[in-house]
Amino acid sequence: MDCCTRHAGYLRAICLYRSVKLDDWPRHRKAVVAPFNDDLMSLVWRETLCHTRSMLHAWTTQFRGNIPSLENGLRALTFNVLGATAFHERPQSQADTRPKDSEKIAEDYLDTLRTVLDNSILLMVIPYHRLRGTSIPRHLARVGRAAQSFRSILLKVLGEETAALGSDGSKQNRLLTPLVRALKPDTRDFVINFAGHDTVRLTLNFTLALLAVHPDVQEWIYQEIKMFSGGHPNDEWDYDMFPKLKRCQAVLLETLRIFPPSTGIPKIASHTAPTLRLGDQILVIPPGTEVFPLLLGIQTDARYWDDPYIRRPSRWILHDDKGDEGLLIPRRGTFFPWSEGPQICVGKKFSLVEGVAVLVCLLQEHRLLVRVEAGETQEQARHRVRNCIDDVNYNLLLRMNHPERVRLECASIQTEIWA
């Protein structure tokens, strides 16, 4: 655990993913953290509720309660939330009254972002300008064109915000606005990493599949929703409701403990970290040595977590003298879904707000069930899905090998019957 808690002794391997050095991190964080304020969180809350309602409507009407693909539904939802919060662009709805030209621009805008996000790993390996020319396969050329277009979009935002500096011309609370404003006057280049789009989607994919296997946890969450919603429809819920939803947060935290998107963080031993304690042994670690602490191993270590492989969201709930519920703060160096220390992920609250909004919107009036195949009992169906959830691989991020085999149903509380 030493290499996870001694932040100055074991440094991020920035050469691998082009991050900022620890001594320059305070300046970088000041700029990066600026957009993650309550105004943005309120926008994330509203947009997530809106897009979750749309997803629910499709599941319960168009597909009559059969969820065609949980993975694809969540991919569209998290993408749309990102598009709305980062660029103030939303997919066209039936109530959209914008001119046709504006609709086409927004559609192209979002399609470009979707293509870049879906191929982000490819674009990390191959520069987009290499994906051009007559000899490039059509599907790769499309990625190259999208990356070029996305660069133009970011430069357009840069131009708009630069022109608005020193005036009240920029009124939007876009995710990119404070980042652009933090640039030095003579700077024209900056890099934004939207990796959180994938990590939130994968966490929700695991969470919703696990909820279908554990109906008792759905009921546990529902009791909290009923307490704090006051019976109001979810289009009237304010962001002020979020911090009260401790159980919803606990469910997400427990998923992240057992199924963290990133199971390890590469580090490099500095000149101040010559030794590492391993049990009763003291190991000498030469400066410059690359180490890869297995974070998943720490998050499932019985020394820090009771019954570590049992999924029990209630472990995160504490009760005060009045019986009010609060959230457990894990021991330092035992929980890392957003990293830890001075370089903790600035998108932590963004992801929690988005995840909680999905849960409360889904479970206010509906329940998730495992679709029972021919010849199966309900218990056998749940066991099958649980096996799919546990069958994972680490292809950059932890994910199920066969998410398409997790076939679920969505039923209203009035019509749903637990087996």
Residue 237: the pLDDT is: 96
Instruction: With H, G, I as helix, E, B as strand and everything else as coil, classify residue 282.
Output: strand
Output the pLDDT for position 135: 86
331: left (phi over 0), alpha (psi -120 to 50) or beta: beta
Cβ within 8 Å of residue 318, ≥6 positions away: 325, 326, 327, 328
Cα–Cα distance for residue pair 373/368, rounded to 1 Å? 16
The bridge status of strand 392-395 relative to strand 317-319 is unpaired
Domain assignment of residue 201, yes or no: yes
- Asked if the structure places residue 96 within a domain, the reply is no
Pick the range with the lowest mean pLDDT from 110-119, 192-201, 252-261, 292-301: 192-201
| Residue 189: predicted pLDDT | 47
Residue 330 CB-half CA count within 13 A: 24
Structural domain including 212 reads: 2-69+195-412
CA distance 248 to 219: 11
pLDDT at residue 290, as a whole number: 78
Residue 81 lies in a domain: no
pLDDT at 183 over 90: no
Q: What is the tens place of the pLDDT at every residue in 289-344?
A: 777 788 899 999 999 999 999 999 999 999 999 889 999 999 998 999 998 877 78
* Residue 177, pLDDT score: 63
Q: Which residues contact 121 (CB under 8 A, 6 or more apart)?
A: 396
**Verdict on whether the full-model pTM lies above 0.85:** no
Query: Higher pLDDT residue, 252 or 13?
Result: 252
Return the sign of the alpha-carbon dihedral for residues 123, 124, 126, 129.
positive
SS3 at position 11: strand
Q: How far is CA 144 from the centre of its chain?
A: 25
> For residue 57, what is the domain's CATH number?
1.10.630.10
Answer whether residue 102 is part of any domain.
no
For 79, other C-beta atoms within 10 Å of its C-beta total 21
Report the interhelical angle of 196-213 vs 378-390 (nearest 10°): 150
pLDDT of residue 103: 46
With beta carbons less than 8 A apart as the criterion, state whether 313 and 254 touch.
Answer: yes
pLDDT at 366: 97
Q: What DSSP letter does each residue of 16-51 carry, written as one string?
A: HHT---GGGHHHHHHHHHTT-SHHHHHHHHHHHHHH
Q: Which of 51-55, 130-134, 307-311 has the lowest mean pLDDT?
A: 130-134
| Higher pLDDT, residue 105 or 204 | 204
Question: Is the per-residue pLDDT at 3 higher than 60?
Answer: no
pLDDT at residue 97, as a whole number: 36
Which residue did the predictor score with more confidence, 11 or 151? 151
Only one residue has tokens 């969180």, namely 41
- Pick from 5-19, 23-37, 163-177, 305-319: least confident: 5-19
What pLDDT sits at residue 248? 98
Please give the pLDDT value at position 31: 66
Specify binding-site residues.
345
Whole-angstrom Cα distance, residue 49 to residue 64? 21
* pLDDT reported for residue 35: 75
86 part of a folded domain = no
What is the pLDDT confidence band of residue 397, given thresholds at 50, 70 and 90? confident
* Confidence (pLDDT) at 107: 52
Res 93 pLDDT > 90: no
What pLDDT score was predicted for residue 89? 65
148 found inside a domain? no
- β-pairing, 392-395 vs 275-278, is unpaired
User: Looking at residue 418, what is its pLDDT?
Assistant: 46
**Each residue of 270-287: pLDDT tens digit?**
776 567 777 788 888 787
- Percent of the chain, pLDDT > 90? 47
User: Which pLDDT score, from 0 to 100, does residue 92 have?
Assistant: 47
Rounded to the nearest integer, the mean pLDDT of the chain is 82
Q: Is residue 386 part of a domain?
A: yes
Q: Give Cβ neighbours of residue 346 (< 8 Å, ≥ 6 apart).
A: 29, 32, 33, 36
- Model confidence pLDDT, tens digit, residues 55-88: 999 999 999 999 999 999 999 999 889 888 876 6
pLDDT of residue 4: 53
In a domain, 125, yes or no: no
Residues 234, 56: Cα–Cα separation, whole Å? 13
Report the percentage of the chain scoring pLDDT > 70. Answer: 76
Tens digit of each residue's pLDDT (9 = 90 or more) over 201-259: 999 999 999 999 999 999 999 999 999 998 899 999 999 999 999 999 999 999 999 99
The radius of gyration of the chain from alpha carbons, rounded to an integer in Å, stands at: 23
Per the listing, tokens 């504490």 go with 318
Q: Indicate the annotated binding residues for heme.
A: 345
pLDDT recorded at residue 204:
98
Domain count, the chain: 1
Q: Would you state the pLDDT for residue 218?
A: 98
Beta bridge partners of 282: 277
Is residue 114's pLDDT more than 70? yes
